[in-house]
Every structure is written in C-alpha cells, then in structure tokens.
Amino acid sequence: MKHTDIEKLAKEWIVDSADSPANKRVQEITLRLVTDLCKAIEDLDITPTEFWKGLEYFSEAGARNELGLLAPGIGLERFLDMRSDEADEKAGLAGGTPRAIEGPLYVAGAPESKGFARMDDGTEVDKAEPLFMQGTVYGADGKPLPNAKVEMWHANTLGGYSFFDKTQPAYNLRRTIITDDNGRYAMQSIMPNGYGCPPDGSTQALLDLLGRHGQRPAHVHYFVTAPGHRKLTTQINIDGDKYLWDDFAFASREGLVPPVVRVSDPAEMKAKGVSKPYASIDFDLHLVVEKPTAASGIVDRAHFTA
C-alpha cells in the first residue's frame, strides 16, 4: 500500500470518523502515531503475529510497571532532554547545570533539613564506603542562592532504591536539603552502586534481543528548585564506574561527572565522624531564570506515592 493511501485511511479512522467534539492535540498526536505505525507495518512487512506479540510485550511491560524503565532504555527520555536543551538555548536559557533524565524511581516527601542531611540509615556502614557530597547552589545572577530546595536520592550498595526495594526502610537514601544562608548544601551517605534492569523483566528481554546490556553506573539524582528559577532535574555519575560512559539509559553527560576525592587522613576522618577512609565529592549547581515565554521546565508525570 502506498504511503498516500495509508495517510488517507488513517485520517478517516482518527479524524473524519469523530462524532463529537475532539481534543485537537490528542487527535493530532494519535493521527501521526497511527499513520507512522501503519507505514512501518507496510514497509517492514510486519506480520499479524509480530504485531500482536508486540502488543503482548507492552501489556506485560505495563503490568510489571516497567514502561518508565523502558523509555530511558531505548533512548526516549534522553531524546526529550535533548529537545528541552534545544528549546532552552533558543529561549536564551543556556548556561546552567546540564539536565539529565529523572528515571522512574523518585518518591516525593523525603525528610527535609537545613544545610545538611544524613541520608543512609547506617545498616551498610560496615561494607560501604562513606560518601560526603557538598556544594553551592547558584542563582541565575551567579550568586549563591539561600533556601533553594535540593532533593537527592540514590541506590544502596546492591543497587536498590527504598520503597521499590522492600528490605530498606522508608526514605532511606532520600533527603530534601534546604540550602543555608550561603547557598550551601551537604550530605553524608554511602557510596551507591549501579543497578541493572530486572534480568527476567520486559526491558531486559528487549535489550537482549537488541544485543545490549541493561546496566547503569553508580549515580546520585537531583531535583533543585527555587523561586524565579527553572526546576533542574539532573544526576551525577560516579567517576571510575565501569559503566560510566556505557549507561544503558544514556544519562552520562560532560559536566555531570565530578571528581571523587578519597580521604584517608585520620584527622579528617575523625572530623567527619567516620572510622575509615571516605569519598568526597564537590558538586555545585547552577540554576537559570524562569521565563514565562519559554516552555515550562516542569514535567507533569506520575510518581510513586509513599
């Protein structure tokens, strides 16, 4: 079938068949997707069996709550960030800390503190490397920004996240830090590990067929918000990780791999209240001003509710 014939058919199915007022945006997107899918079926000679197996795959992925994992795994979440970067640049909003994908594991409502937070529950201190992270949040004018909200979350030594990993207590390795009068934030935690897609899951099943692994490097997520500034969604990846530049979710970016300093001086260890060498990471965050004329920096998406 010719593409022009497919386009005519899809328009009849999606647009011309409407018996009541339609949501024009939903109509526009549905028409495009159905048209492109029909063209792909024609061009690739997709069989009915392949089509229905594809639907079964997405049904299973949805039932396993893996669509939020699949989206970064096939590059879609990274592509959305690339488009947002382009839009920000056109709107004159470049120059802040690079954005990075949110991923599917954020949970709202983490305990809040001023300036500093201890993020881990202490159960992995014997086997984990202590981690201290600190930095300054800067406003669009380049000055330190007091009372900015810094939300942070990361995995434990096994790559598990609290709430999703039921062996961890609520909000373990999740905190909200309000910057102090000097725009500073600091946290104490443990060095996270990277994680892999569930080996028996839908995402890994597709990655296997594509000849790809499903591993992520160790990383720490951030949401940063402040009045008058665009929300920053980003993450830092831990330098030296095996998968640092081979992230299945395509989230590794220049500017988001700060140096890791290993500290073994007994006096500094004592000052931090730890009994063994620790890792220290400095990471400053630079926000850009919010512009009413620019596309919103807020992404409206469902999150796990504690």
27-49 pLDDT, tens digit each: 999 999 999 999 999 999 999 99
pLDDT tens by residue, 112-156: 999 999 999 999 999 999 999 999 999 999 999 999 999 999 999
Determine contact, residues 296/230, Cβ cutoff 8 Å: no
pLDDT tens by residue, 163-184: 999 999 999 999 999 999 999 9
Determine contact, residues 234/100, Cβ cutoff 8 Å: yes
Alpha helix positions (H), the chain? 3-11, 24-44, 48-63, 67-73, 76-90, 202-210, 266-272
- What pLDDT score was predicted for residue 16? 81
pLDDT band at 56 (very low <50, low <70, confident <90, very high): very high
Residue with tokens 């897609």: 197
Asked whether the predicted pLDDT for residue 102 surpasses 80, the reply is yes
First to last CA, the chain: 50
pLDDT tens by residue, 62-99: 999 999 999 999 999 999 999 999 999 999 898 899 99
Q: DSSP characters for 234-278?
A: EEEEPTT-TTTT--TT----TTS----EEE--HHHHHHHT-SS-E
CATH: 1.10.8.60, 3.40.50.300, 2.60.130.10, 3.40.50.1000. Which one for 97-286? 2.60.130.10
Bigger pLDDT: 292 or 173? 173
- List Cα–Cα distances, 143 to 31, 182, 288, 290, in angstroms: 47, 9, 12, 16
- What pLDDT score was predicted for residue 305? 83
**Rounded to 5 degrees, what are φ and ψ at 300?**
-90, 100
pLDDT tens by residue, 238-285: 999 999 999 999 999 999 999 999 999 999 999 999 999 999 999 999
- What pLDDT score was predicted for residue 297? 80
**What are the structure tokens assigned to 108, written together?**
């709202």
**What are the structure tokens assigned to 101, written together?**
């994908």
pLDDT band at 18 (very low <50, low <70, confident <90, very high): low
Q: What is the pTM of this model?
A: 0.95
